[in-house]
Amino acid sequence: MILIKLGGSVITDKYAYRSFDAETVARLCREIAESDQGTVVVHGAGSFGHILAKRYALNSGLVDFGQVPAVAQVQYDVRELNSRIVRALMDVGLPAVGVPPGSCFVMDDGKLDVGEAEAVKRLYNIGVMPVTFGDVVMDRKRTFGICSGDQLMEVLAKMFKPKLSVFVSDVDGLYTANPKDDPGAELIPEVTPEVLKKISADSDVDDVTGGVIGKMESMLAMCSEGSECVMVNGKVPGRLKSVLMGEETVCTRARA
């Protein structure tokens, strides 16, 4: 089985509130279907989540009740994004069902607790793809918080023990510096914890869940569970399919 996270930067325009990249999503879903591997898709929130989450500091938990309408609005927005992703997966013949973390799971001081996730396992066992996503999730200590798609990837990797976990992003992989503003930045084909420490690749847009470094940390944590992890650029046609097919392509592989 292969676990795939479609990053918010690929499926939305991170700078424009609720802008969905239907063309890219349709192509990525085709690549997933054509690869004909058993896959489970998770997706990020992009501009359907990060913009309001940042404005109302939802990642800090309950600070004042003025945040509450934003809790509902962000949950509404990311569910709408999820419906569009599920629709695109069904359009390429993949039976998919949205599993909203905010309605199914809780967090404990920022740590996701999915319990037995029995419904998720039962969907998967009959060949339906459960599609979870970054969401606002109730928290036992902080009242609520942000659950990222990366956290869900870690939990699902423990549950399904995938042979490969793929993080689909809008960059070719991890660079020695931010490639968007440093022309000297070089792609790192293989990242280890030591390599990661040396790199500053701060995300240049509002991102409440840590940007590329956070994603690489998640990837390394998942590798220690015995799974191979890859970050690949989903904006370039064919690269996701190549990774899924086990072919050589431009990407960054994580090694614990």
Q: How far is the CB of 46 from ligand IPE (least distance, A)?
A: 4
Q: Judge whether 2 and 38 are in contact, CB under 8 Å.
A: yes
Largest CA-CA distance found in the chain, in angstroms, rounded: 51
- Site residues (CB under 6 A) for ligand IPE? 7-8, 44-46, 49-50, 53, 74, 78, 134-136, 146, 148-150, 207-209
Please, what is the minimum distance in Å from the beta carbon of residue 206 to ligand IPE? 10
Q: Compare residues 111 and 245 and give the one whose CB is closer to ligand IPE.
A: 111
- Phi, psi for 126 (deg, rounded to 5): -100, 10
Joined together, the tokens standing for residue 153 give 């990837």
Helices (H), the chain: 8-11, 22-35, 50-55, 68-91, 101-104, 118-125, 149-160, 193-198, 211-223, 239-244
Angle of helix 118-125 versus helix 149-160 axis, rounded to 10: 60
Residue 215 Cβ, how far from ligand IPE at the closest point, in Å?
8
Q: Of 186 and 206, which CB lies nearer to ligand IPE in the complex structure?
A: 206
User: What's the min distance (Å) between Cβ of 149 and ligand IPE?
Assistant: 3
- CB closer to ligand IPE out of 129 and 212: 212
Q: Rank residues 235 and 245 by Cβ distance to ligand IPE and give the closer one.
A: 235
**Among residues 122 and 180, whose Cβ is nearest to ligand IPE?**
180
If phi over 0 gives left and psi between -120 and 50 gives alpha, with beta otherwise, what is residue 81?
alpha
